[in-house]
Amino acid sequence: MNILGIETSCDETAAAIVSGGKNVRSSVVASQTAVHHPYGGVVPELASRKHLEAISQVLSEAIERSGIPENRLDAVAVTQGPGLIGALLVGFSFAKAYAYALNIPCVGVNHLEGHIHSVFLETDAPEFPFVSLLVSGGHTGIYHVTSHTTCELMGQTRDDAAGEAFDKVAKMLGLGYPGGVAIEEISRKGDPFHIQFPRPYLDKADSDFSFSGLKSAVRRYIETHDFKENIPDIVAGFQEAVADVLTFKLIQAALSRQCSRIAVVGGVAANSRLREKVRGAAAEKGLSVFIPSPAFCGDNAAMIAATGYHYLRAGHVCSLTDDVYSKVMAK
């Protein structure tokens, strides 16, 4: 089955074609980073307009690269939510119309489940069950995944997502957007142990997170120190604190479910320090680790197409009257 995927939940316009739920035939992503950089974050109205401008071209390029013509597409999978409403509406409306014109099914995909499915785009994919840490700009949570269509939320952030905290700390320090990339690069020049920032929620037995206190600790340090000569140490210490919390919570969640397989997905999963710490901690506990390549960590349409394949096999399809949603829907 050849599935066309479309993703427009935030600031990437993406299209991809995936065969059999795992074989990526093409994946095209048009980034809006340059558009939002001057504002230090995503401007929803600008994101929607840029999706409108880019979506037709991105789709055409994905089809051309794949070598699969329109008449060999079996379904369209598209992000239905969560995300920015205006941005979601561009992709979702386009996908429904496109599927209707080709007389093929349209499948609305949960963006978070799409990220979880990104590990299945790699040659080495986990068997079920596994515990997955999903960590991105808008979401941070831990899931117990038992099949392609079922997963249980074990815990999530009580406030800022980890990626959001990266962006806000980078903005405090004038490092630009996206913050995660800037912080990872500059942290290589710093000492992660010179400044000890708090590790929030490490003393909690559950799988929840909280990063607002850590963000505030960085702000207090900036306000009470001559920080400009010390930026590499600040961002290295902040990154180390985030990676410590994420790693500890993921390992503890896996052990609580007696699960020997763990995954890290989402945009922050591209962070090399987090990948290193998770692999090291997992090795100590005898756990197998699955992390997608950086190209599939950020928002992309291949993960949406892969998820849509399994949704379709389970009989989940959209009607023309279905709508998008901005927040996670209760199951």
Domain spans of the chain, in order of start: 2-116+298-313, 124-291
Q: Is 124 exposed, middle or buried (0-12, 13-18, 19+ CB in 10 A)?
A: exposed
Q: Tens of pLDDT along 227-236? A: 888 999 999 9
Strand order in the sheet with 150-156: 150-156, 140-147, 130-135, 261-265, 288-290
Matching CATH topology for 2-116+298-313 and 124-291?
yes
**What is the number of other CB atoms lying within 10 angstroms of the CB of residue 320?**
9
Q: Which structure tokens are listed for 12?
A: 């990437």
Q: What is the mean pLDDT of the chain?
A: 96
Q: Which structure tokens are listed for 318?
A: 């959209």
What integer pLDDT is reported at residue 331 of this predicted model?
Answer: 39
Asked whether 95 and 78 are in contact (CB, 8 A), the reply is: yes
What integer pLDDT is reported at residue 116 of this predicted model?
Answer: 98
Query: For 239-245, what is the mean pLDDT?
Result: 98
Q: Whole-angstrom Cα distance, residue 157 to residue 200?
A: 11
Rg of the chain's alpha carbons, rounded to an integer?
A: 20
**What is the number of other CB atoms lying within 10 angstroms of the CB of residue 75?**
22
Instruction: Provide the 3-class DSSP secondary structure of residue 8.
Output: coil
Give the class (CATH, top level) of 2-116+298-313.
Answer: alpha beta
Q: What is the DSSP letter of 157?
A: B
With bands split at pLDDT 50, 70 and 90, how would you rate the model's confidence at 314?
A: very high
- For the cut 50, the answer to whether the pLDDT of residue 253 exceeds it is yes
What integer pLDDT is reported at residue 330 of this predicted model?
Answer: 41
Q: Tens of pLDDT along 104-130? A: 999 999 999 999 999 999 999 999 999
Q: Tens of pLDDT along 204-238? A: 889 999 999 999 999 999 999 988 889 999 999 99
Q: Which structure tokens are listed for 86?
A: 């205006």
Give the class (CATH, top level) of 124-291.
Answer: alpha beta
Q: Whole-angstrom Cα distance, residue 29 to residue 14?
A: 4
- Phi and psi at residue 116, to the nearest 5°: -60, -35
Alpha helices in 192-230 (DSSP H): 212-224
Q: Tens of pLDDT along 60-93? A: 999 999 999 999 999 999 999 999 999 999 999 9
Q: Tens of pLDDT along 281-311? A: 999 999 999 999 999 999 999 999 999 999 9
